[in-house]
Structure 1
Amino acid sequence: MKERFLGALLVFLGACSFGVLSSIVKTAYKSGYSLGQVTGIQTFFGMIILWAIYAIYHLIYKPTVLPPKTIQGNRLWQVCLAGFFPGLVGIFYYQCVQLIPASVAIILLMQYLWISVIVDFLIFKNRPTKNQILTVMMIIFGSLLAAGIFNQNMVINIKGYLFGLLAALTYSLFIITSSRVGNQLPTLKKSALMITGACFITFVIFPPIFLFKLGLNDKLYQMGILLAILGTVLPPFLFSLGIPKVGISLGAILSTAELPVAVIASYFYLKENVNLSQWLGVVCILLAIIVPNFIPHIKQRKV
C-alpha cells in the first residue's frame, strides 16, 4: 500500500512539474528573452544534464550485455529523429504561450488526447472505440469552454490558437513515435538521445548565437536550468518510477494534474483572469480522462 501511494505521489509530482512550465516561460518573456532563447536554453541544458546522468549511471552500473553495433546504430538514429517532435512541441507551445494566456495555452496542448486517436486511426488503422469517441467529444466540448470560445468578451488570437494546436499535433506524434522506437535501449539513454534530437532541431530553427553573447550570471541560464529540470529531466524520471507502481490507467489519471496546476499557476502567479466557464471546461476535460480510466477499476472490484 505504501509503495502504491509513493508511486501515485511520484506521478502526481511529475505532472505538477510539467504544469508550471508555462508560467516560467511567461516570466522569461516578461524579462525580455525571446522564443529562440527560451526553447534553446531549455533543450541545451536538458541534453547536458541527461547525458551527464547517463554517463554517471553507466560508470557505476556497467551494462553486461550490449546490442550489436549495427542494430544499436540504427536505433540511435531513429530515437534522435523522434526527438525532433518534442523539440517542435517546445517551439510551438512556447510561441503559443507568448501570444495567448498560459491558462488557455495548456488547454490547446491537451488536444493531443483526441488528435492522437485520429492519428492512430489514419496511420495504423486502429478504429476508436465508442468510449474513445465519447471521451473525444467531452474533451472537445470542455476545451471550447475552457478556451473561452463561448465568451463574447474574450479576444481570440487566431495565430496563438494555431500554434497551440500545432503543439498538440506534434505532441501526439511524439507520443506515438516514442512508443515505437528505441524501446530496447536503456530509459536514460533513450531520453538523452531524444533531447539531443530536440536540441538539434531547435538550434537549426533558432541558431544558438545567444550562448556566446550572454554573461555567465545572466538570468536566462538560471531559467534554462529550471526549465530543463522541471520539463525535461524530472517528469520522465518520476513517471518511470511511479507508473509501474500504480499501473497505466491510474498513471494516466494522475498525469492529468498538469492541466489544473497550469491553470492555477497562471491564475495565482501570473494573475491571469480565469472565469467560471474556463474552470468548468477544465473539470469537463478532467472527467473525460478520469472516468474511462476509473470505470475498469470499479468493475474489477465488483467481480
Structure 2
Amino acid sequence: MNRNKGMLLVITGAMFWGIGGTVAQKLFQQYAVDVDWLVTTRLLIAGVLLLAVQFLRKDRAQIMGVWKNRKAAIKLIIFGLLGMLAVQYTYMASIKHGNAAVATLLQYLAPVMIIIYSILRRQNTLTRGDVLTVSLALIGCFFLLTNGSVSQFSVPAAAIVWGVLSGVALAFYTLYAIPLLKQFDSLVIVGWAMIIGGFALSFIHPPWQINLNSFTSEAYLYLVFVIIFGTMIAFWFYIESLQSLAPKESSLLGSLEPLAAVLTTVFWLKEPFGIFQWIGALCILLMIIFLAINKEKDPSL
C-alpha cells in the first residue's frame, strides 16, 4: 500500500511540474504576466507553505535551527540565490521567450552537466554509459532546437540561452544542496531557499506591483495552479514519495515532467512541434530514463 501511495505521489508531482510550466506560458502569452513578478510571487508563497507543512508535520525546531548554525546559514543563502532563484528564473525566462516544452527539456540537460563536471574534477571516470548519455543529449538538443535544419534554429535564441542556463543552475542546485540536506529536512532547506530567492527578487520587482485589471477568473485559477500545484505540491509530493520508493524509482517516474510539458504545450497551447523535434524530445527522454535507471550506481547523478 505504501509503495502504491509513493508511486501515485511522484507521478502526480511530476505531472504538476510539467503542466505548471505550460500554465505559466499561458500567463505570459495571454495575460502578459511579468516573469520577475511571477517568479517572486511563486517563490515567496510556495516557500511559506512548505515551511508551514514542516511546522505542522515534522520537527518544527529545524525551521529556525538552520539559522543558528552560521556555516549552514551562509550556505543556505548562497543556495537560495544561486540555486533556487537561478533555477526558477532561468526556467521561466526560457518559457517566456520560447515555450514550456523546450524549456523543460533543456533544463533536463543538468544530469549531463553533472557527469561532465564530475569527470573534469576526476571524481568519476568516463564510462560507456556516460558516452551514451551525452550522445543522446547532444543529438536530442540538435533535433529539438533545429528541427533537422542547420540553416536556422526553430527555437528563439533567447529561449535556448535561458534554457541552457537553467540546466547549469539545476546542476549547481543539485550538487550544492547535498551537504545541507544531510543536516536538515528537505522542506526546511527548500522552503527557506524559496523565501530567500523570492525576497531578493522583490527588490527588482515587488510582488505587489502588478496590474490585475486584465486578469480574469481564469487567469487567477492559472496563477493558483502555478503557485500551489506547479511549485509547492509538486515538490512536496516528490519528497514524500521518497519515503516509500527507492530514489531510482522516483527519478524514473519523475521523467514524466518533460513529457507532460511537451504534450500540454503541443495539444493545449497548439505550439508547432516538427517531426525532428519529436525525435529530439524522445532522445532526451531516453537520456533521462537511462540516468534514472543507473542513478543508484553513481551517487553523483
Letter in 1 for 2:18: G
Structure 1 gaps of 5+ residues are: 298-303
C-alpha RMSD of matched pairs (Å): 3.0
1:83 is the counterpart of 2:80: yes
Aligned residue number for residue 301 of structure 1: none
Tell me if 1:54 matches 2:54: yes
Post-superposition Cα deviations, 1:178-219, rounded to whole Å, max 9, x if no partner, equal 122242212322221111222133224x231x5055569966
Aligned partner of 1:139: which letter? A
- CA shift for structure 1 position 222: 5.0
**Matched residue of 1:211: which SS?**
coil
Q: CA deviation at 1:51?
A: 2.8
Q: Which residue of 1 aligns with 2:236?
A: 237
Counterparts of 1:168 and 1:277 in 2: how far apart (Å)?
Answer: 22
Corresponding residue pairs, total:
290
Paired residues of 1:23 and 1:266 also in contact (CA < 8 A): yes
- Amino acid of the residue matched to residue 267 of structure 1? V
Question: 2:212, 2:266 → 1: CA distance?
Answer: 33
Equivalent residue runs for 1:243-258 within 5 Å: 243-258=242-257
Structure 1 residue 25: Cα displacement: 1.3
Q: 1:202 to 1:257 in 2, by over 3 A?
A: same
Show CA shifts across 1:26-57 (max 9, x none): 11112021111111111121122223333334
CA change 1:27–1:215 in 2 (3 A) is closer
State the Cα distance separating 1:261 from its structure 2 match. Answer: 0.4
Change in Cα spacing, 1:188 to 1:105, as seen in structure 2 (3 Å) is: closer
State the TM-score, normalizing by the size of structure 2: 0.84
C-alpha contact (below 8 Å) 1:42/1:225 kept by paired residues? no
Deviations 1:52-99 (A, max 9, x none): 3333346xx6669x97985x3432331232122121122111111111
Answer yes or no: is the 8 Å Cα contact 1:10–1:242 preserved in 2.
yes
3-state SS of the aligned residue for 2:183?
Answer: coil
Structure 2: any 5+ residue segments left out of the alignment? 297-301
State the match for 1:40 in structure 2: 40
Superposed, 1:1-303 pairs within 5 Å as: 2-29=1-28, 30-57=30-57, 70=68, 72-84=69-81, 85-123=83-121, 125-151=123-149, 155-204=154-203, 206-208=204-206, 210-212=207-209, 214=211, 222-291=221-290, 293-294=292-293
CA distance in 2, matches of 1:296, 1:119: 16
Deviation at 1:163, TM superposition (A): 1.0
Tell me the TM-score normalised to structure 1 length.
0.83
The offset of 1:292, in angstroms, is 5.5
Cα pair 2:21 2:226 within 8 Å, conserved = no
Counterparts of 1:140 and 1:147, CA distance in 2: 11
Q: 1:280 to 1:87 in 2, by over 3 A?
A: same
Identity of matched residues, %? 18
Q: CA deviation at 1:271?
A: 0.8
The structure with more radius of gyration: 1
8 Å Cα contact 1:17/1:235 also seen in 2: yes
- Amino acid in structure 2 at the alignment position of 1:79: L
